[in-house]
Amino acid sequence: MTELKLDSLNEIIKTPKKTAIVCHKNPDPDTLGSAVGLSYILRHFGSDTKIVCCEKLPARLSFIVDGEEILYSGDLSEFQRVIAVDVASPSQMGELDICCDRVDITIDHHSMNTRFSDYYMENCAACAQIIFKIAHSLGLYDILPLKFFEAIYAGISGDTGCFKYSNVTSETYVIASLLVEKGIDCAEINRLIFDSKSYGEIVAEKVTYQNMKLYSNGKLSVILFTNKMKEENNLTDEDIGDIVNHIRQIQGVSVAVSIKQSSKDETKFSISSRSNNDIDVSALCAEFGGGGHLRAAGCTVIASSPDEAESRVVSVFSRELK
Ligand SMILES: [Mn+2]
């Protein structure tokens, strides 16, 4: 991958081409908001665009991509250009990783050991923040429609936990202020992202509180979610998407980890981790081939049983919590 400067990236963006914009698996407000935002910019310059994601979007986030057609297939041959947004590594493309060599440009903000991105911005709370800066530098602030600004806000608010995480900088607030000035309904966007849950998500929280475990003298909280637990409680993968954030709230916990068995392949376990302090969970996830941010990272573990997955994850994470 080559490292691009903003000027050369802008020149590329101004060249009209049929473009696929690829989101990361387990899509969140930032990857979706960045994709929608970039779509508006590219279409302004005459490109035909389509957003591509390997996984179905959670229903509660569909408002971000309202009016956009999403492509779920891995066949990108109809496109002249492929741009990935908020994708930290090829594995984050999920089943689309087979199209990895088709990706022309990646725009991202994740701090990774192995850099996958061409256009990378350090200390950027959200990829959507980068997309906003691109639009601003291209003089589009007074031109793009409200939906662009709503999508950018959703991305930034999503990745900052509603402006409360340590990744927030003064620039995040400056950009948020420019978005609010546009007349977006930020209260409603935040309600839809943070304060609206399906019944299944509430049941998933109950099951999480009943089954979570503490290790390392209470510094490590872990929830193992097996397929059996999902079946018994009639839960979908979407319902359990966010559970790691609940067990990180426990006082004394430094690191929280969720281990979720794949519904498609019972030997695959997807790990989400959160750090409440300076323990770098992206480095720990990198030991399993994953990555992410210092305080929020993920990976996939292959194991013959749920217990094996848990003990392997606990042994790596507890090492840092002596
Ligand atoms: Mn992001």
- Give me ligand 1 centre to Cα 293, in Å: 9
Helix (H) or strand (E) holding 107: strand 105-108
- Give me ligand 1 centre to Cα 308, in Å: 30
pLDDT given at position 114: 52
Residue with token string 């840092």: 320
Nearest to 321 by CA among 247, 245, 255: 255
**Dihedral, CA of residue 36, residue 41, residue 45 and residue 47, to nearest 10:** -20
What is the spatial distance between Cα 192 and Cα 162, in angstroms, rounded to a whole number? 11
Contact assessment for residue 10 and residue 137, using Cβ atoms and an 8 Å cutoff: yes
pLDDT tens column, 165-183:
989 999 999 999 999 999 9
- Give me ligand 1 centre to Cα 155, in Å: 7
What is the spatial distance between Cα 255 and Cα 318, in angstroms, rounded to a whole number? 9
What is the spatial distance between Cα 283 and Cα 293, in angstroms, rounded to a whole number? 9
Q: What does the DSSP 8-state code read for residue 304?
A: S
Q: Which residue has the higher pLDDT, 70 or 120?
A: 70
pLDDT tens column, 202-261:
999 999 999 999 999 999 999 999 999 999 999 998 899 889 999 999 999 999 999 999
Is the pLDDT assigned to residue 115 strictly greater than 60? no
What is the spatial distance between Cα 297 and Cα 251, in angstroms, rounded to a whole number? 21
- Give me ligand 1 centre to Cα 291, in Å: 12
> Confidence class of residue 116 from pLDDT cuts 50, 70 and 90?
low
Is the pLDDT assigned to residue 113 strictly greater than 50? no
Residue 55: how many other CB atoms lie within 10 Å:
16
Mean pLDDT of 149-156: 98
Bridge partners of 52? 22, 71
In sequence order, what are the residues at sequence separation of 6 or more whose Cβ sits closer than 8 angstroms to the Cβ of residue 275? 254, 255, 281, 294, 295, 296
- Give me ligand 1 centre to Cα 302, in Å: 25
pLDDT tens column, 54-77:
998 988 899 999 989 999 977 899
In the chain the domains, ranked by start, together with CATH numbers, are 6-194 (3.90.1640.10), 199-319 (3.10.310.30)
- Give me ligand 1 centre to Cα 262, in Å: 23
| Tokens matching residue 194 | 């943070």
